[in-house]
Chains A and B, each alone.
Chain A
Amino acid sequence: GAGVSQTPSNKVTEKGKYVELRCDPISGHTALYWYRQSLGQGPEFLIYFQGTGAADDSGLPNDRFFAVRPEGSVSTLKIQRTERGDSAVYLCASSLQGQMNTEAFFGQGTRLTVV
């Protein structure tokens, strides 16, 4: 596709359940980022992949959150034992190299609601 694609666009889950959020980056982009945007706030960095490896996961809030990118393209953000405080829009972005001044392109996000 032409842009970053995220699925599903909306996800409602019950507290305590496990969820997976998918990101399809722009073809050829080696850098991939996950951000979380709570209502009325700016996006907050979660994790950055360069190729298949997580180069920086310092933004993950706790060990319930995990992300993978096994083939260096599609990434999945996994949240275990969801809590109501996990409700937010989860944004994925990709860029060509992940270096300074390289533009990051964002998907439309997955809105996660934990009830």
Chain B
Amino acid sequence: AQSVTQLGSHVSVSEGALVLLRCNYSSSVPPYLFWYVQYPNQGLQLLLKYTTGATLVKGINGFEAEFKKSETSFHLTKPSAHMSDAAEYFCAVRGNAGNMLTFGGGTRLMVKP
């Protein structure tokens, strides 16, 4: 079975500061990992994904994440936060059956001016 733990349900950073959102996963098979973002009153949108190959993956809006198998982690980072980054971020792992994703509890990112 797969599971995802996101450390910190709320993260607050100042505009221009580093963004670090933490995600640890558990998977019985080689994982496919995803970060999705949810802006207020909208559905989820894919930020980036890791399937195979390079462990550092780049996504939209300047976000990137690094797959670390030894640490079972897939943390999301962005060098410089922007006000428009304020949203809820979900880490997810793909399951064995179909394309079903198991999501973490989400981290709400707040960006202070």
Answer whether A and B are interacting partners: no
